Structure 1
């Protein structure tokens, strides 16, 4: 059997495991003098293994702390643009990468929208959009919803990412890939897993920001309708919170100037907001963490207060702003 390689000649964990196995196998049949030499070599290899394990543990701890910092940086992003900018910065830190590109998906097109460079003084021109190529790392990442590594950087991104390989990961929003992150280097297993965790959280953050944006638009619609019902044309004033932003309809023209004696409660206002989206009673119950029977009771009171005979009429009144 050929001599096992010296520990200094070993560069990978696989080679190290193989060398240890070879030494153990040879020791079973070696004479005493040879066994002594093999024993010393085995000690060297095991020391190398212990050191590698310790380094790996420390590296995993560093990456885990990086994931925590990266996720916390996304918490208070108030818009998709702010979220994308922060995401690129945090990915660069998490992956020890010099440059990161975040692109949105439009069918089979990849459209870069935000990017980060550790050296902004040498920032190239904005990258052009490009097609998803069959069999490419991008196609693989999208097909499997996993992180993928490739040796050949897409031409459109070479000025930004360089040409020495890259890593890409899909950002899944609402169950479908909506974006791709490109990192300017092939990542090792630990950092690929870290990137996978981060983009999963990022997808959830995009859902949150999108939901908050939709709610703001819905609340603005409700506020505008309520102001029109009250005869106030100044709809640019910031809407008050709670019951005052959802005034009940005035069905009697002569009562237009009368004060509202029975306004909607905060919870009823929440129910109306969801009714206007077309949500079912069960969906409203899940969103507000209440029972379906409670939702039904709220809807009955809302219909009574607004003078609407059913949900369809309620929705029509709010959308048209009529009394």
Structure 2
């Protein structure tokens, strides 16, 4: 619409250059009307963009304190529906070339959507294009597996990128315009960062549990029994020893050490931290140099001695 008005304005100005005085007056009135209409569209667009910006802000704040992936997924679907003015949203995880719906959301509280079945990424489909480009994509033919959840009148899809790789897809039951597609893309970027944060916190919690269990296994049976019944003072001393050991290290190096102390191999550490085996080896070399140990066994011995 705005492009059509711009062309009409340009044509009117060109016509005015050669028009006689009587026709120029008529063209002048037409020009004023066209300019008023263009200004009205621009004002409406500005207001819409402002509303979208506020919507993105509300949506992002809703994700801030999500304590688990399940809660994050639920909140994300609700906020996407609100942001896109859509009635239905489906969020799926990616399993190779399979799309596995995780949760669905309906703005109608009286409508409970059945979770769609999983389906394959079809070459040339909107899903495939979205994954190839990591961008918001609009489609007209809703996949058969999602029609009950989204309806059959077009949809929009956006990938959620976690650690540089598309890990999830969000299907919205509406064909979004340019502004809302952009808003959805911005929100998906934030959502990917939130998944990284929740995943990192979960990994650290698991590492701490493994670390304590490993410390127990290192001792004799008698020492093991003592560990299982000791009080908070002993546990505090263990945490202090760990802190002293990890002080010289970067945050990522500390993550690697925690896994080394559980007996994890380089490949296990790489999978756990989403890095390559070569990167793990580089981290291990720097860690041994910083902590003055010649190998992993000596590093573990240093930790054992500091906790006794």
TM-score (norm 2): 0.80
> Contact 2:208–2:258 (CA<8 Å) still a contact in 1?
no
Aligned to 1:117: 106
1:231 counterpart = 2:224: yes
> Contact 2:140–2:153 (CA<8 Å) still a contact in 1?
yes
1:56 to 29, 42, 45: 45
Aligned to 1:176: 165
> Contact 2:160–2:167 (CA<8 Å) still a contact in 1?
yes
TM-score (norm 1): 0.77
> Contact 1:85–1:114 (CA<8 Å) still a contact in 2?
yes
Cα 1:155–1:265 shift into 2, 3 Å: closer
Cα distance in 1 for residues equivalent to 2:295 and 2:113: 58
1:46 counterpart = 2:31: no
Aligned to 2:237: 244
Cα distance in 2 for residues equivalent to 1:126 and 1:240: 49
Q: Aligned pair count?
A: 278
Cα 1:32–1:105 shift into 2, 3 Å: same
Cα distance in 1 for residues equivalent to 2:197 and 2:282: 21
Cα distance in 2 for residues equivalent to 1:100 and 1:236: 50
Cα distance in 1 for residues equivalent to 2:74 and 2:168: 13
Cα distance in 2 for residues equivalent to 1:190 and 1:238: 58
> Contact 1:222–1:273 (CA<8 Å) still a contact in 2?
no
**3-state SS of the aligned residue for 2:203?**
helix
Aligned to 2:296: 311
Cα 1:216–1:22 shift into 2, 3 Å: same
Cα 1:312–1:196 shift into 2, 3 Å: farther
Q: CA deviation at 1:115?
A: 1.4
Aligned to 2:245: 268
Q: CA deviation at 1:153?
A: 1.0
- Say what the alpha-carbon RMSD is for the aligned residues: 3.1
1:25 to 11, 14, 17: 14
How do residues 148-167 of structure 1 correspond to structure 2 at under 5 angstroms?
A: 148-167=137-156
Cα 1:167–1:101 shift into 2, 3 Å: same
> Contact 1:149–1:187 (CA<8 Å) still a contact in 2?
yes
> Contact 1:142–1:177 (CA<8 Å) still a contact in 2?
yes
Q: Which has the larger radius of gyration?
A: 1
Q: CA deviation at 1:227?
A: 3.8
1:237-265: CA deviation from partner (whole Å, max 9, x where unpaired): 9988986345xxxxxxxxxxxxxxxx615
1:39-74: CA deviation from partner (whole Å, max 9, x where unpaired): 111111101111111111111111111111111111
Structure 2 residue runs of 5 or longer lacking an equivalent are: 260-268, 270-278
1:87-107: CA deviation from partner (whole Å, max 9, x where unpaired): 101111111111111001111
> Contact 1:150–1:166 (CA<8 Å) still a contact in 2?
yes
Cα distance in 1 for residues equivalent to 2:185 and 2:101: 20
Q: CA deviation at 1:312?
A: 4.0
Q: CA deviation at 1:163?
A: 1.0
Cα distance in 2 for residues equivalent to 1:159 and 1:235: 53
Cα distance in 2 for residues equivalent to 1:37 and 1:76: 61
Aligned to 1:14: 3
Cα 1:16–1:98 shift into 2, 3 Å: same
Aligned to 1:259: none
Q: CA deviation at 1:131?
A: 1.3
> Contact 1:243–1:269 (CA<8 Å) still a contact in 2?
no
Higher helix share: 2
Aligned to 1:200: 189
